[in-house]
Amino acid sequence: MPKSHDKHLWLIELNAKAVSMPLYFFLCLILSACANQYNTATMECYSDNDCLSGQSCRSKKGGGSECRGSAISLARTSECQSESDCAYGQSCRSKKGGGTECRASSESKNYNPPKPPPPPPSSRDNAPQITSTGTSVMIAKDLFITNAHVINGCIKIDISGFEAKVKASDSENDLAILEASVNGRYAKLRSQRPMLGEQVVVAGYPLQSLLSGLNVTTGVISGLSGIKGDSRFLQITAPVQSGNSGGPLFDQSGNLAGIIVSKLDAIKIFKTYGDVPQNINFAINVNVLRSFLDAKFITYDIASNEKILSPQIIADKAKDSTFMVRCWE
């Protein structure tokens, strides 16, 4: 390549170097992309506002002022009246010779922002939970019979998913009347006194955490009184479990002969008597139920049909009159 051409290129480069400095500063002011490369470069100024970030306006020899890179730009000071005049991480302090100035605070390195307050407890934490289940039997439009102990202490009650309200309760006889808008078939109350040895059918919803759906068992009336001769109760051999409470005891005609209430505690009986009780369960006599309904002025149907039905037919009818009760606490 000819030397004249080399010289020409050199001149262009020299000229570029000679004129590029102001242009470069101009571009940096617009784009703020290259200031850190020229912290030590200088340009005329009247105040710090005319200088790039990290520079300050200082007097120069021979007069005038110029922007110069500041070695302490990050800790740069300015006059202040209070902490609010200073940047984050600085504090307003006295300076030698009088006055005050903003200075970097040694405490700023150890500054820990306050922790936000903990979130409020979730509404789910305080929401009622299902604590127990039982059984009920429909005896009139929107009216259901169950045990008082089934709904005792409940914040909310539902019958097969429909909200229910307590219309009346008798804790002494362990009976309660619930009101809910649920469609079903009314169970008719037996008119005759129960007889020893007659066949019975129990319907209910036992052990719903383990089982599902309506459960039906059969047995006989094995006693006409409860513990220590309590005539309010009938003793039956039909198996019952937790969750059967409040459910119907049907006679062999499918009429309501009682309300399931309890069974013997096999563990306690064994510890006390050294024997395991078998098929000793209890129901509230229908006579007690009738007296309770009469006292509360509840209208109910009395059975007129004494025709003996098979357990299968009684179980099929029980599907429409027997409902699960859930207690929420």
| Binned average pLDDT, 10 residues per bin, the chain of 329 residues | 38 38 49 43 69 69 71 54 72 81 61 68 69 96 97 95 96 97 96 94 94 95 96 97 97 97 93 92 97 97 90 96 95
pLDDT in the model for residue 11: 37
pLDDT in the model for residue 124: 57
pLDDT in the model for residue 82: 80
Q: Are 281 and 238 in contact (CB under 8 A)?
A: yes
Q: Are 280 and 264 in contact (CB under 8 A)?
A: yes
pLDDT in the model for residue 185: 96
pLDDT in the model for residue 89: 65
pLDDT in the model for residue 99: 83
Q: Where are the alpha helices (DSSP H) in the chain?
A: 3-31, 123-126, 148-151, 266-273, 286-295, 311-318
Q: What residues does each domain of the chain span? A: 19-71, 76-106, 130-328
pLDDT in the model for residue 111: 53
Radius of gyration (Cα) for the chain, nearest Å?
A: 46
pLDDT in the model for residue 224: 97
Q: Which CATH architecture has domain 130-328?
A: Beta Barrel (2.40)
pTM of the model: 0.63
Q: Are 221 and 234 in contact (CB under 8 A)?
A: yes
- Identify the three-state secondary structure at position 22: helix
